[in-house]
Structure 1
Amino acid sequence: MAATNKNDKHDLLVNKKHNPTVAALLSIIPGLGQAYNKRFLKGAALFILFAAFVVAFTELISAGLQGLVTLGEVPREDDSRIFLSNGILSLIFTAFFLSFYILNIQDAFKDAKRIQLGWKVPNIREGFRNAWDNSFPYLLIGPGLFLLIFVVIFPLLFMVFLAFTNYNLYNAPPRNLLEWVGFENFVTLFTINEWRTTFFNVLSWTLIWTFVATTLQIGLALFLAVLVNDPRVRFKKLIRTVLILPWAVPGFVTIIIFSALFNDNFGAINLQIIEPLFGQRVPWLTDATATRVAIIMIQVWLGFPFVYALFTGVLQGISADWYEAADMDGANRWQKFRNITFPHVMFATAPLLIMQYAGNFNNFNIIYLFNQGGPAVRGQTAGGTDILISWIYGLTFTNQQFNMAAAISIILGILVAGFAFFQFRRSRSFKEEGTF
């Protein structure tokens, strides 16, 4: 027994001499810190992986970063877009390398800390089992993360970098080389009269469109959901099926049909309704105000079924005891709606309703398919019904003002992300997530 205690004290002394700082410093050369922790196989694997990365990618990353700075040197031979793409890939690979390099140092430090506290280094079989258990979730999300980086993050970074170049129709590679211009595009957007006027007109209409169209579709959906949920209404299943039908039809088909119905010359709305009643036709496609009214009505038609389905499910989940208690207290219909129905519906659906606003803010389909953002407005580079996203599309594919489109896209992304984050933070369902 005395001998055992003596050995335990000796182990504790040895463990106290194991220094985590030394392990972290040795990990500056990947694998040496793990070897210091007597995890030789893990250290060897890390050293080989990092050495292979350095040998295979150092030249590629160096050339890519250099090209990102210069964007090419010989016109008609160097394509600045390729240099920009390679530079972004180099940044991504560098970020990967630095992330794993830091994790390598942290891993050696944590293992050394555990050894210092008396942890026994596992054998090879236990090490493999522990590594598999810990890395299995990362193996599952790895392919998705890879796609996210190269399908979402890479194009997003490419767009952000374009906003700081002079890439437009008159300076397009490979005939010309791109140059870094700093914040010149953003300054142009807010100082040149044509760009400033167009931007603020389009932004104001985008905000009006988002608020009016989304609020009307939510209000109509709530009205119909409450009405159909009334116990006195019969044939509820049939009515609900009919009200869901606009959602079942593909949106682009509905928009194209409505564009024909609203046509100034042969549309049924003018010929069969407006002209017989009022003796004149409404210029639905040639007057900006009339076009805006038309697309708001179409969006309400397209958008209310989804919200109606949400509200219907929530209303059916509200306990009848609440309403019975309100009846006993002498509450009228409006009081029951204001204090029971509306709070329950908003609490359960607030995040999805916020996404309705964010979705309509970027609702390209209806703007483009109905009238291509028209009618044209004199002195503007955008049409009378263009919202920010459709204006960006026109600048990119019609006018080839890639730099200005990228700059506006950055502003658009900040607006949408800021609005969504602010509203999510304020919603009760976000605040009370995980509380019971």
Structure 2
Amino acid sequence: MLPSLGKAVKKEVWNEKEQIYEYIQGDNSMLILLFSVLTLMIIAAFLIVYAANIKAAYNNQLAVNKGRKLNSALQDITALFDKKLHYAFLSLPMLGILVFTILPLIFMILIAFTNYDQSHQPPGTLFTWVGFENFKNIFWDDPIQSRTFVGIFQWTLTWAFFATFSNYILGMILALMINKKGIKFKKFWRTIFVITIAVPQFVTLMLMSRLLADQGAVNVLLGYLGVSPVKFLTTATLARITVLVVNVWVGIPYTMLITSGILMNIPADLYESASIDGAGVARTFFKITLPYMIFVTTPYLITQFIGNMNNFNVIYLLSAGGPLSLDYYQGGKTDLLVTWLYKLTVNNQDYNLASAIGIIIFLVSAILSLIVYNRSGSARKEDTFQ
């Protein structure tokens, strides 16, 4: 049944006896696909258990040949609460991972190779396999979809770069200023800048969205001052700058805390040696502080970059991906791939296209992470860095 995803379509039939039309339920492609994946997983589990039993039987036979006494069934069960207690504890979490993570993941990957969209909604309409058609539409076959993907993908990478390094650089500068010798009330200054973390991020973003709206408080105030209203969130270029600036506001405190901890753990003898050698402040920073910071925080930077590529909250809560564009298919000028995926799923029911985009996001994130980390000093000089 898996190759066809159903054949019987829901149809209307005249009931001569009751003198009414009745609907005969057809196949449900979604349930067929879901239960097929579940069945394959159960078969795979049985095969694994079967292979484990064969291996155990073989080992038991070897033990018998050597004259060893085998454990009874009761002893094997007792071992699950003693020497093999970890198996008993891990069984339920593993079952949960399989049912609530692996199964939905495989299901959604398979959706990318179907035509499950707003025109093919089960149980009323069946959907079928279309191979790589969705990927071809995204990349070149469909002009609107490919133009939307290229534009949003370029902005996603641009956003991730500036959102990551603006927070990193400004957070580092702030940490250097607070940790500088001679600065008084360091704990006070750290507390002041960390207060923004105490406010839930979604509250901050929704408040900023209201303040910066065309009829928001900021533009009302500008009107009182005789200044023309500024379209912070409804002009493409200005909207992109606005989301970057607001992201700095909510992101700098985290970077400041991380870099402050690293600065306080840089060996003092490195600075003493540099001072004895006559190195100035700038030379000390670029030769000692910055290399140490980059080495330690490279995994953090990679994580932040990938996280910003998928930063749903800042974009959706602040600008909702807008302003909308007629050149884009169900997307806006500040949409990231992840917010575009959300709109395709929730607003337009294009589940096939959204699943294909999800696969692309995963591949790009995984490839970038592996390449950058393996080429970084954190991976190549892990054992030699002092």
Q: Cα distance, 1:106 vs. partner?
A: 2.8
- 2:56 is aligned with 1:107: yes
Q: 1:315 aligns with which of 254, 257, 263?
A: 263
CA contact (8 A) 1:206 1:361 kept: yes
Give the corresponding residue for 1:95: 44
Correspondence for 1:194: 144
Q: Is the 8 A contact 1:71 1:177 kept in 2?
A: yes
Q: CA deviation at 1:138?
A: 2.2
Q: 1:157 aligns to what?
A: 106
* 1:131-142 to 2 correspondences below 5 Å: 133-142=82-91
Cα shift at 1:105 = 2.6
Q: C-alpha displacement at 1:92, in angstroms?
A: 1.4
Output the CA distance in 1 between the equivalents of 2:48 and 2:135: 32
User: Aligned partners of 2:76 and 2:68: how far apart in 1?
Assistant: 11
2:80·2:88 contact (CA, 8 Å) conserved in 1? no
Which string of whole-angstrom CA distances, capped at 9 and with x for unpartnered residues, describes residues 380-428 of structure 1? 1111111100001111111111111111111111111222233333344
**Structure-2 change in CA distance of 1:319 and 1:300 (3 Å):** same
Q: Which residue of 2 aligns with 1:306?
A: 254
Q: For 2:33, which of 73, 81, 84 is the aligned residue? A: 84
- With over 3 angstroms needed to count, the CA separation of the structure-2 counterparts of 1:274 and 1:94, relative to structure 1, is farther
- Equivalent residue for 2:160, pick from 193, 206, 210: 210
Q: Which residue of 2 aligns with 1:241?
A: 191
Aligned to 1:332: 280
- Counterpart amino acid of 2:133? E
What does residue 314 of structure 2 align with? Answer: 366
CA distance in 2, matches of 1:204, 1:149: 35
Distance 1:172 1:129, change over 3 A: closer
Match of residue 356, structure 1, among 288, 301, 304? 304
Verify the 8 A CA contact 1:282 1:290 in the aligned structure 2. no
Deviation per CA, 1:153-188: give whole Å up to 9, x if none. Answer: 121111111111111111111111111111111111
Distance 1:136 1:432, change over 3 A: farther
Q: Is the 8 A contact 2:111 2:351 kept in 1?
A: yes
Residues 313 and 285 of structure 1: CA distance in aligned 2, closer, same or farther (over 3 Å): same
Report the TM-score when normalising by structure 2. 0.88
Find out whether 1:72 has 2:6 as its counterpart. Answer: yes
User: For residue 35 of structure 1, what is the aligned residue in structure 2?
Assistant: none
SS at match of 1:383: coil
- Are 1:145 and 2:104 matched, yes or no? no
Match of residue 22 from structure 2: none
Q: Percent identity?
A: 36
Q: Aligned letter for 2:122?
A: P
Q: Compared with structure 1, are the counterparts of its residues 158 and 433 closer, same or farther at alpha carbon in structure 2 (3 Å cutoff)? A: farther
Q: Does the C-alpha gap of structure 1 residues 108 and 433 become closer, same or farther in structure 2, counting only changes over 3 Å?
A: farther
Matches of 1:225 and 1:131, distance apart in 2: 51
Corresponding residue number in structure 2 for 1:425 = 374
Q: How far is 1:429 from its partner?
A: 4.1
Q: Which structure exhibits the higher relative contact order, with contacts defined as CA atoms closer than 8 Å and separated by 6 or more residues?
A: 2
The alpha carbon displacement at 1:360 in A equals: 0.7
Q: Secondary structure at the match of 1:177?
A: coil
State the SS of the aligned residue for 2:38. Answer: helix
- 2-side partners of 1:229 and 1:274: how far apart? 42
Give the CA deviation at 1:271. 4.8
Cα RMSD after superposing both structures: 2.4
Matches within 5 A, 1:267-286: 267-268=217-218, 270-272=219-221, 276=225, 279-286=227-234
More displaced stretch, 174-183 vs 146-155: 146-155
CA deviations over 1:108-163 (Å, ceiling 9, x no partner) = 344455666x5723444765665655532222222222221122212111111111
**Counterpart pick for 1:170 among 119, 144, 167:** 119
Q: How does 1:362-401 map to 2 (within 5 A)?
A: 362-381=310-329, 382-401=331-350
Secondary structure, aligned partner of 2:113: coil
Q: TM-score w.r.t. structure 1 length?
A: 0.78
Distance in 2 between residues matched to 1:361 and 1:259, nearest whole Å: 21
Task: Identify if the C-alpha distance between structure 1 residues 111 and 428 changes in structure 2 by more than 3 Å, giving closer, same or farther.
Answer: farther
Q: Tell me, yes or no, if the aligned pair for 1:351 and 1:427 is still in contact at 8 Å.
A: no
Which moves more between the two structures, 205-214 or 135-144? Answer: 135-144
Partner Cα distance (1:337, 1:213) in 2: 23
User: Are 1:229 and 2:163 counterparts?
Assistant: no
> What is the aligned partner in structure 1 of residue 354 from structure 2?
405
Amino acid corresponding to residue 312 of structure 1 in structure 2:
S
Structure 2 CA distance for partners of 1:291 and 1:69, relative to 1, 3 Å: same
2:8 corresponds to which letter in structure 1? Answer: V
> Conserved in 2, the CA contact under 8 Å of 1:367 and 1:387?
yes
Aligned to 1:295: 243
Counterpart amino acid of residue 357 in structure 1: F
Amino acid in structure 1 at the alignment position of 2:264: Q
**C-alpha separation in 2, matches of 1:413 and 1:206:** 14
Q: Is the CA contact (8 Å cut-off) linking 1:274 and 1:282 kept in structure 2?
A: no
Structure 1 residue 337 displacement after superposition: 1.2
Matched, 1:256 2:206: yes
Deviations 1:84-125 (A, max 9, x none): 110111121122112222222333344455666x57234447
Instruction: Name the residue aligned to 2:294.
Output: 346
2:344 counterpart letter in structure 1: L
Unmatched tracts of structure 1, length 5 or more:
1-65
